[in-house]
Amino acid sequence: MMHRIHLFEFEDQTWFPSFLRNYVTDFLQFLSNKAKVYQPVIDVIHNTLNAGHTSTIIDLGSGSGGGLLWLSDELKKINPALQIILTDLFPNIEAFEYTRQKSSDFDYFQHPVDAKNVPENLKGLRTQFLSFHHFNPDDARMIIQNAVNAQQPMAIFEIQDRSFPSFIAMLLSPVSVLFTTPFIRPFRIGRLVFTYVIPVIPLVVLWDGIVSCLRTYSVDEMKALVDSLDNKKSYSWEFDKKKSKTGFVMYMIGIPA
């Protein structure tokens, strides 16, 4: 049984205004890049690319690009041919285009991409950075099964869990929003309005952050999802949790055997 609570997040709701969703994901991208949250798993990603015989990352649930700008610079030092394709069910085209302009390592898929049914022409290492917890167990299993059926390598990363330190970090997240908003690019007047005048963004970040903790799969729960797959033995699996300066990175890797 999953000891997780699947409450709703504003980001997931189709009725939630897209411009507000974009402001929230812009904040998450900015913070991830500045904090270099994925530093502990650079070697993990590099090794997974090598084992999967690919230099392409198909990022699912990209939001506004996650912390991938900084991460791509680090990976490119090891893998000069690296290419990252950004995708999302609610694609933030403006942010994707901004990311592509910042780095030639990036491109994006402009149409909605369902992580449970990835188009066959998108081939490479399927990654999910801070997005896997958005899916209930049935959908999460379908995401993994879809990668296995397509014989594509996959890597899932989370930086929060159902622990006291994670909840404290989320309770403090509105303060981070208030301090970082003026520095987020591209600059938008609306971002300032919905941060300081009508504080929708800090409140959404607070709620969605707490719910993210409640929703996040533990290592054992991710193992349980894999155990329920068809043809699971056709893959090699790795599960771990690495400490970082900002906390930790928990991950699941699946590579065709």
State residue 1's pLDDT score. Answer: 40
Distance (Å, whole) CA 173 – CA 183: 16
Say if 7 falls within a structural domain.
no
pLDDT band at residue 197, thresholds of 50, 70 and 90? very high
State residue 68's pLDDT score. Answer: 87
State residue 158's pLDDT score. Answer: 96
State residue 66's pLDDT score. Answer: 59
Kindly report, residue by residue over 76-91, the tens digit of the pLDDT: 999 999 999 999 998 9
The answer, yes or no, to whether residue 219 has pLDDT greater than 70, is yes
Say if 230 falls within a structural domain.
yes
- The CATH number for 119's domain is 3.40.50.150
State residue 95's pLDDT score. Answer: 86
206-232: average pLDDT: 96
The answer to whether the beta carbons of residues 146 and 128 sit under 8 Å apart is: no
Q: What's the domain count of the chain?
A: 1
The answer to whether the beta carbons of residues 110 and 85 sit under 8 Å apart is: no
Kindly report, residue by residue over 159-169, the tens digit of the pLDDT: 999 999 999 99
Say if 95 falls within a structural domain.
yes
Say if 10 falls within a structural domain.
no
34-50: average pLDDT: 94
Say if 218 falls within a structural domain.
yes
Distance (Å, whole) CA 253 – CA 251: 7
44-54: average pLDDT: 96
The answer, yes or no, to whether residue 29 has pLDDT greater than 90, is no
- Give the global pTM: 0.93
Say if 144 falls within a structural domain.
yes
pLDDT above 90 coverage of the chain, percent? 81
- For residue 159, give its domain range: 36-164+213-256
180-196: average pLDDT: 94
Say if 228 falls within a structural domain.
yes
Distance (Å, whole) CA 237 – CA 226: 9
Kindly report, residue by residue over 116-162, the tens digit of the pLDDT: 999 999 999 999 999 999 999 999 999 999 999 999 999 999 999 99
Distance (Å, whole) CA 118 – CA 58: 10
Say if 16 falls within a structural domain.
no
Q: Strands 247-256 and 235-244: what pairing?
A: antiparallel
